[in-house]
Amino acid sequence: MVVERAQLEYALAHSIGLPGFTPVGHLTADLQLLQAPQDWVSVLDQASNASLQLDDSFEPITPVYVVAGGQGLGKSTFSRFLANRLINRYGCVFYMETDLGQSELAPPGALALTMLIDPLFGPPFTHVGQVEPYHAVYLGTTTPKNDPDRYALAIKRLSSIYREYVSSVRIARKQASGMTSETNVNNMDDMDEQVVPLLVNTQGWLKGLGLDLHYSLCQEVRPTNYIQFY
């Protein structure tokens, strides 16, 4: 029975073809279900259902989410939930990794900007080999206190690359569809196709120099949604 069940789970995982996904058909004593708390669900629902806003040029304002808080509060797990919700709505999301010591998609010591089109399952080590950074800067340290200026410059570089990509995609999609800025007002449902949101996973160091670096990061990425864990 155990062998048959294992074979069935393997066949199901192979048929789905999603890297890192392994179905579990039964519960064991050492297996716990991952359930999002209700306050997480409220924020996730708001992120996936909120209407896009227009700027003064009638262009959609790209959502930028910054997830902040101390260590061990669930930022990384929440960020995976949020990334998956944004992928469901927009088709893709850019994930900016700024935690040198506990990165989600990049090797330790690196800051990275990664485009996600497939949902994230499992802890960070299960993502190895599944996605490649769109751009990365290797600092060779697990804390920004060793070289804060270089850390800040790396974030500025990643933010600039993200904005350049978003601008080029928006222009290309509008040219392909024949849309103008004025037509955005009458085509609110089509604006999701012009948007590639950004999700920033931050470090847990929020005191002294760490807080200064966090403030500098927020000035650079200009979040539209700031999510604080306490």
Residue type, 146: N
Please give the Cα distance from 92 to 84 (Å, whole number): 9
Cα-Cα end-to-end distance for the chain? 46
**pLDDT tens digit at each of 230 positions of the chain:** 555 666 665 666 666 666 556 666 666 666 666 677 888 899 899 888 888 888 888 888 899 999 999 888 889 899 999 999 999 999 999 999 999 988 889 888 999 999 999 998 878 877 767 788 999 999 999 999 999 999 999 999 999 999 999 988 878 877 776 665 555 545 555 677 778 999 999 999 999 999 999 999 999 999 999 999 98
Fold of domain 35-229: Rossmann fold (3.40.50)
What count of other Cβ atoms lies within 10 Å of the Cβ of residue 28?
7
**pLDDT score for 60:** 85
**pLDDT score for 187:** 56
Domain ranges of the chain: 1-33, 35-229
Query: Nearest 5 degrees, angle CA 67-CA 71-CA 77?
Result: 55
* Residues linked to residue 229 through DSSP beta bridges, in sequence order: 69
**What is the value of pTM for the model shown?**
0.82
Q: Any long-range contacts for 159-165 (C-beta under 8 Å, 24+ apart)?
A: 159/96, 159/220, 159/221, 161/113, 161/134, 161/135, 162/94, 162/96, 162/113, 162/198, 165/94, 165/134, 165/196
**pLDDT score for 10:** 63
**pLDDT score for 216:** 96
